[in-house]
Structure formats: C-alpha cells, structure tokens
Chains A and B, each alone.
Chain A
Amino acid sequence: MTTDVLMDQSRSFNASFAAEPFRRHPLFAGAALCLVVLMAPTLFAMALDQRTFLDINVWIKPFKFQVALSIYLVTLAWFAGWLPARVTASLWHRIFSMIIVLAISAEMIWILGAAALGVASHFNNSSPLAIALYATMGVLAVVLTSAAPVYGIVILRDRTSRLDPVFRLSVGIGLIATFVLTVAAAGYMSGSGSHFVGGVHSDAGGLAPMGWARDGGDLRVAHFFATHAMHFIPVFGFIAGRLLPAGQGRVAVFAFAGLFVGLVAYTFAEALSGRAFLAMLS
C-alpha cells in the first residue's frame, strides 16, 4: 500500500492537511494562498461598491474566480505529490508550472480590472481591445487547464507509482476528463456569445450558490461539472479502490467516468434546450 497522507491515519490530520499542498507543490500552493488573500479586498470592495453587472454586484464574479482558481491550484498541488520525483525535479515541470501560474494571474487581473471598470470581461465585444483581450484570455484559459491532462497523463504512465492502481486510474481519467470536457463546454459557450440560453439575461435570482439561471438554460452548469471531473472521478476511484478488488475497481472507475461524461452531456443539452438545471427546485 501507499504511504500517502490521505491514507495515513496516524499523523496529526489538521496540521499536515493544510501544509501538505505546500510540501507537494510550493508554487501552486503559494499562488492559491495569494488568491485567498486577494479575496479580502475583493469582498471589502463588494461591501462598498453599489455597481452591478447583469443585476448582481460587480465583485461577485472576481470572487467566484478566486474561489474556483484557488481550489484548482490546491488540487493540482495535491496531485503533484503523485508525480514521479524525476518529473517534479525537472526543468520542464518548473517552467510549465510558472506558465500555469502566469496564465492564472493574467486571468485574475483581467477579471478584477473589468470589475473595477464595471464592464464585461467574458463576452465583451464592445471594442477591438476588449475582443483581443477576451480572445487572449480564452487561449490562456486553455493553457491553465492544460495542467490537468499533463498531470493526468504523467500519473497514468508512471509504472513506479506507489498509489493504489484503481485510484491512480481514476486520478488520471479525472484530470484528462477535466480538460477535454471543459474545453468542449467552455469553448462552445465562448463561441455562442452568452452562457444564457433563453430566459432573462440576468444573474439576479440564480440558483444558489452558483447563481445559475432558473428561468432558462445556463451553459455554466456543464462547465462546472466538466471542470470538477478531477474531483468527482478520483473520489469515486478512491472509494472503489478500497471496496473492490483491482479488476472490478477498474471497471467501476471506467463506468463511473462514463456516467460522469453523460452527466456533463446531459447538463449541456439541457442548457442548450433552454431548460434550467434542477428546474424542479424552482
């Protein structure tokens, strides 16, 4: 078995849990901490600023991106602990990590800047500069998401890994699925000019806590599940690896991944047809 902290019950859980991402990938963990610190002035600005965009406070969007990107970075830092040492020590990995952090920084500055100016960041076609920025940020979004499949492939191909094989399979599939599904969902979304399909193009009265439209389709639902494949599938794989023999566990992971892709496809089709996610709750 593995000596991973997740499975080691003897260690003091709280202290090691918070420090673990910093041990595994200091740059990603540090960048995540910077985003968390940035939440403080962003929330303060939210409390003071009366301006709204699509009927909600202009600072909600930067705050949501700070939450999402810090979760992404901490998850990557965690998975980095399962990369072979020769990879984490390599020059390409260091440069690649810096590129990821720079891409995330650029996205954050763009979104904060747009909020400060009270204008749209995504879907902003109001000027040549806004269009160029949106396109550039689209490319950088793909760049920052590419860390997931790169890690996934390296972890899948690492035959020396001490991880439980079923769990390792689920981590690899989850990371790759995050990239493929996110680029598909978000790529379609950016091409369609809005994430709303039908309904009032307003963020007010959305489904908590994400604010998804309740009066029409919202493509952000599919984007959300697509991006969280890197969480859902490994959590399933971790449980399957403990409960099932390796052969069955493997099959279960593939089956779950297939179902998960189906869920993303369903939420995508649901939004495209102009129906709200979990419409029965509205």
Chain B
Amino acid sequence: MESVYLDSVKISEVVVQPDDIFQICNVLAMAGWLALLVSPFFPKLADGVAALAIPVLLAVAYAGLILAFWSRAEGGFDTLPSVMQLFTQPEVALAGWIHYLAFDLFVGAWEVRTARAERIPFLIVIPCLALTFLFGPAGYLAFTALRAARAAIPATSHAGVAQ
C-alpha cells in the first residue's frame, strides 16, 4: 500500500516554477479582457468571466502564493525600500503581479457594467479599458472623468451626440 503522502511529496518536488504561473495567469487575464471587448454581444457571459471566474482563479493563485511565501519574504509595507525588498523575491513579485492582473480586470469589468447601466456608448469605453489594462488606475481615472463629463452635459444633448 503506497502512501498518498509520499506521492504528494513527490508532486511537490516537481517544481512549479514562478515563470509557469506567470504565463498561465497572463493568459487568463488576457482571456478576461477579450471577454470584456466582446461584452456588448454577450454581456452576461462576459461579466461572469471577467468579473467573477477569472478574478477568482487569480485570487486563488495569489492567496496560495502568499500562504506559501509571505513568511519567508524580507521587507514590509512601511517604507519604499522595504516594499522594493519584498519584490526582490520572485514568488512575492509574482503575487504582486497577479494582484494587478486580478484587480485591473475586476475594475475593467466594473467599467463595462457601469457604462452599460448608464448607457455610455461602448466605443468610448474601449479607450478607458485599454488604459485600465495597461496602467490600471489611469484607466479608472479616465473612466471617472468620462462619467463626470457626461453628468455635466445636459441630458438633451446626449441624444444629439448619439444621433
């Protein structure tokens, strides 16, 4: 009778490299952004993929990395050099990267949902999505500016823009 624990030790000796996880997570995030791009055609599906399924998968990877490697990381949140030191450990840097991927995508999905609810044409949301994809908070800022601008314009002229 062979123990499963021996096996699991063997499994854990098959090293899952941070680079592999990095690649997989990038592909996952990309799939989420593609879902957002085609969201006008499949709004429910896109929302389920980009706001729930993929962020949850990324969150599992993030939480697993933090469980496994946080206690060994040097550095902290208190000073900039401490934070930079945290990111000198590959697994912690990877966790940080997955954090970006997950939250940027989640914000992107929120922008799409909000735009749909507020009847903002999808074409002008796309630049905000591109910015959110590349530079997270900058995209959020652009989308917020867009909403503020639309709120400032009197409702009647919306129709004029649309026509």
- A49 at the B interface (CB under 8 A): yes
Q: Which of A120-134 contact B (CB under 8 A)?
A: none
Q: Which of A40-70 contact B (CB under 8 A)?
A: 40-50, 52, 55-57, 59-60
Question: A56-B9, A57-B12, A60-B8 given as contacts; is B68 within 8 A of A45 (CB)?
Answer: yes
Question: A56-B5, A118-B71, A211-B3 given as contacts; is B12 within 8 A of A49 (CB)?
Answer: yes
Contact B63 A41 (CB under 8 A): yes
Nearest A residue (CB) for B8 = A57
- B161 at the A interface (CB under 8 A): no
CA distance in complex: A136, B8 (Å): 31
A43 CB to nearest chain B CB (Å): 8
Interface string of A103-130 (1 = CB under 8 A from B): 0000000001001111000000000000
CA distance in complex: A204, B9 (Å): 8
Could you say which of B8, B11, B62, B69 has the most chain A C-beta atoms within 10 Å of its C-beta?
Answer: B8
- Chain B positions within 8 Å of A57 at CB level: 8-9, 12
- Chain B positions within 8 Å of A56 at CB level: 5, 8-9
- B2 at the A interface (CB under 8 A): yes
- B4 at the A interface (CB under 8 A): yes
- A245 at the B interface (CB under 8 A): no
- Chain A positions within 8 Å of B21 at CB level: 48
Contact A60 B5 (CB under 8 A): yes
Contact A205 B68 (CB under 8 A): no
- Chain A positions within 8 Å of B65 at CB level: 44-45, 48
Contact B9 A52 (CB under 8 A): yes
Nearest A residue (CB) for B2 = A208
Nearest B residue (CB) for A202 = B5
Contact B3 A204 (CB under 8 A): yes
- Chain A positions within 8 Å of B2 at CB level: 208
- Say whether chain B's binding surface is mostly helix, strand, loop, or mixed: helix
- Chain B positions within 8 Å of A59 at CB level: 67-68
* Contact partner, A50, options B3, B13, B60, Cβ 8 Å: B13
Contact A42 B64 (CB under 8 A): yes
CA distance in complex: A64, B108 (Å): 37
- A180 at the B interface (CB under 8 A): no
CA distance in complex: A117, B73 (Å): 11
Interface string of A88-108 (1 = CB under 8 A from B): 000000000000000000000
CA distance in complex: A41, B21 (Å): 14
Interface string of B58-97 (1 = CB under 8 A from A): 0011111101111100000000000000000001000000
Interface string of B1-36 (1 = CB under 8 A from A): 111111011011101100001000000000000000
B2 CB to nearest chain A CB (Å): 7
- A1 at the B interface (CB under 8 A): no
Nearest A residue (CB) for B62 = A41
Contact A46 B12 (CB under 8 A): yes
Could you say which of B6, B12, B65 has the most chain A C-beta atoms within 10 Å of its C-beta?
Answer: B12
A114 CB to nearest chain B CB (Å): 10
B155 CB to nearest chain A CB (Å): 44
- A209 at the B interface (CB under 8 A): yes
29 contacts between A and B (CB under 8 A): A40-B63, A41-B61, A42-B67, A43-B64, A44-B60, A44-B61, A44-B65, A44-B67, A44-B68, A46-B12, A48-B21, A48-B91, A49-B12, A49-B67, A49-B69, A50-B15, A52-B9, A60-B5, A116-B67, A116-B70, A118-B71, A204-B5, A205-B3, A205-B6, A206-B3, A206-B5, A208-B2, A211-B5, A281-B1
B interface residues, Cβ below 8 angstroms from A: 1-6, 8-9, 11-13, 15-16, 21, 60-65, 67-71, 91
**A-B pairs, 7 with minimum CB distance:** A44-B64, A41-B63, A49-B68, A45-B68, A45-B67, A41-B64, A45-B64
* Given A44-B61, A44-B68, 19 extra CB contacts under 8 A: A40-B60, A41-B62, A41-B64, A43-B64, A44-B64, A45-B68, A47-B16, A47-B64, A49-B68, A49-B69, A59-B67, A59-B68, A60-B8, A117-B71, A203-B5, A205-B5, A205-B6, A207-B1, A208-B4
